A and B are shown apart, each in its own frame.
Chain A
Amino acid sequence: MCADPSTLEGLNWWLCYLTTVKHMNLYTSVFTVLLLLAIVTPCILALGFGGAVAKRSALMPVRWVGMGYTSMVRGVPDIVFFMFVPIALDQVFEMIRHKVLCSDVNDPIWQGNDFVVCDIAKLPLNAAPQWQHDAYGFILAVIAFAIVFGAFAANVIDGALKAVPKGQLEAGEAIGMTKRQIFTRIHAPQMWRYALPGLSNLWMILLKATPLLFLLGIEDVVYWARELGGAKTSRFAYPHPDWRLGYFLALLVFYLFLTWISEKVFDRLKLRFGAGVAI
């Protein structure tokens, strides 16, 4: 049906237009967003938990690491980290590979305004197929998201650990539990109820930060919306004027929908975690 778009009209035109290869790319990029969320959420929780525990560690250096990590997001915009972390990581990785793989090259890596590593130290290799470049960029983005939002989560979890009533912990001591037992059986399980509002907030923020993938050069929903929305002359199969406004409106609705669903889910969770607790 879609073989000759110029003969199509009305509904058929729209059906064909919305199923072109590029539109399919747009739809799959929605899954990129969801994939990012799926991968990054457990990392954030783990980093957050680790950061919060490190902050209350008995060892001073560990405590300092925890404190530094939790406070790094307070004064500096998260976007700065999103721009910085991927480039910095990329350079660090390449530098390490350069040192290991081409130990015979003695030229400095930073030459004036240039960053030079030997060819086999490049990540991914110049000859690597396109999907490897894409995947590498995506992995760097995931790490950036995990680090930044892990710091936010560490703040939330730290606050929640402090919010658990002292009496609960003292009760654990009174019946002779060790420190570790108190933490794993009383402190950590009760913490979640206090952490939930903060974490739900964080989830909303994370959702709204996903379009920043575009800034990291990943072909995400924003990229395709701009690409597809731009005016197409009659040389194209489906000519149309500038429709970017429409595409961004659709993105807005998509994000509002995600927010709305998340609100519903968190309301449910709140009921669950609040079960069995006297108010």
Chain B
Amino acid sequence: MSCAEAFSNYAFRSLGYGERILPKADITLCEQIALIGSGMIWNVYFTVLALIAGFGFATLIALGKASSNPLASIPAKTFIFVFRGSPLFIQFFLFYEAFVLIPKVAGDIDLGFVQLTVETRWFTRAWLGALIVMFLNTSAYSAEIFYGALRNVPKGDLEAADAIGMNASQKFRRVTWPTMLRLAWPSYTNEAIFMGHATTLVFLSGFPAWRQAGDALYYAQYLAEKTFNPFVAYPIVAAFFIVFTLIIIGGFGAMNKRLNRHMAPEARGKLKLSLNVIR
């Protein structure tokens, strides 16, 4: 099989397009790269969607934890403790078993212009179920980061906002929140990177890979098993992830620049990849 054929057969295998049957014998390098690359689609999918969804929720939780009202702070603290204090691996299993117990029903949602058929069965599928777990997990980790930043917003800035007569919502939107983001951004970048790395757990834990459509590590494991040679498949995943990590650092670095654009050069928060937020 030629290299182009391998790519046309397997480049979107993880989404269910292309060749149904995975390569069994005489696996070429091209097939390995194409398959693992198609698996990366899932890793990117989980990372991007969970981060976007988690961002808003994490801000809410962080505000809740910082709140003086125990009705807000206790649930927020519990949420953060449970999701940061237990392994993501166990969370996947736990949620999968919980989702399995949901009675199977299907319903229609009428959006006016389009009819959507919604099934509770989707919760047991990785694309939704695992996404929910990743969303909750990254929310807890990001909330802790945001909470730390929230407490470090300079008092003087807040007093200045009071002094010029901003009301509470103006103060939050124009002073507290932007400053919080600026302070939290380097750590949040780390969280994003290690969140991306953690997506490799999805298909190794409770969630089954439906029709062998899995993520990059799922295919790497399959190929290493079939070829009895881990020295090809795993370095390919590693290379894919290094590229992915660099893209994340690039994107978040640009945002970091923007958040710091009003600061004196020596006072800017530096993006530094420190290793404190994997699960």
Contacts and interface: CB of A to CB of B under 8 A. Distances in A.
B87 A77 contact: no
B86 A252 contact: yes
Given A74-B275, A208-B87, 9 more contacts: A76-B237, A76-B241, A79-B201, A91-B230, A208-B89, A215-B204, A225-B93, A255-B85, A259-B85
Contacts of B82: 252, 256
Interface string A214-253: 1100000010011001000000000000101100110110
Contact of A252 (B94, B220, B221, B237): B94
Contacts of A248: 90, 93-94, 97
Interface in A58-111: 73-80, 83-84, 87-88, 91, 110
A222 B228 contact: no
Given A80-B237, A215-B204, A75 B98 contact: no
B26 A210 contact: no
A77 B198 contact: yes
A245 B96 CA distance: 9
A124 interface: no
Contacts of B227: 113
Enumerate the 4 nearest inter-chain pairs by beta-carbon distance, A residue then B residue, closest first.
A77-B197, A115-B228, A75-B242, A259-B85
Contacts of B201: 79
Given A152-B275, A252-B90, A252-B91, A79 B204 contact: yes
Nearest to B198: A77
Contacts of B273: 74
8 contacts: A75-B242, A84-B230, A113-B27, A205-B278, A208-B87, A210-B87, A252-B86, A255-B87
B169 interface: no
Q: For the side of the interface on A, what is the size category?
A: 35 or more
A115 B217 contact: no
A209 B201 CA distance: 11
A202 to B, nearest CB: 8
Nearest to A262: B85
A88 B25 contact: no
B241 A80 contact: yes
A50 interface: no
B275 A222 contact: no
Interface in B10-32: 25-27
A77 B169 CA distance: 40
B274 interface: yes
Given A110-B228, A113-B228, A256 B241 contact: no
A26 B117 CA distance: 42
Most buried by A among B90, B196, B246: B90
A256 B228 contact: no
B274 A155 contact: yes
Given A77-B200, A80-B241, A87-B230, A211 B217 contact: no
Given A159-B274, A201-B276, A208 B88 contact: yes
Interface of A: 73-80, 83-84, 87-88, 91, 110, 112-115, 152, 155-156, 159, 198, 201-202, 205, 207-212, 214-215, 222, 225-226, 229, 242, 244-245, 248-249, 251-252, 255-256, 259-260
Interface residues of B, number: 48
B94 A245 contact: yes
Nearest to B89: A211
Contact of A113 (B88, B226, B231, B245): B226
A79 B221 CA distance: 11
Interface in B66-95: 81-82, 84-91, 93-94
A222 B90 CA distance: 8
Most buried by B among A73, A152, A244, A260: A244
Contacts of A76: 197, 237-238, 241-242
A83 B27 contact: no
B221 A83 contact: yes
Contacts of B25: 112-113
A198 B274 CA distance: 9
Nearest to A87: B230
Contacts of A84: 224, 230, 234
Contacts of A77: 196-198, 200, 217, 237, 241
Contacts of A201: 276
Contact of A155 (B26, B197, B241, B275): B275
Nearest to B82: A256
Contacts of B224: 83-84, 87
A79 B275 contact: no
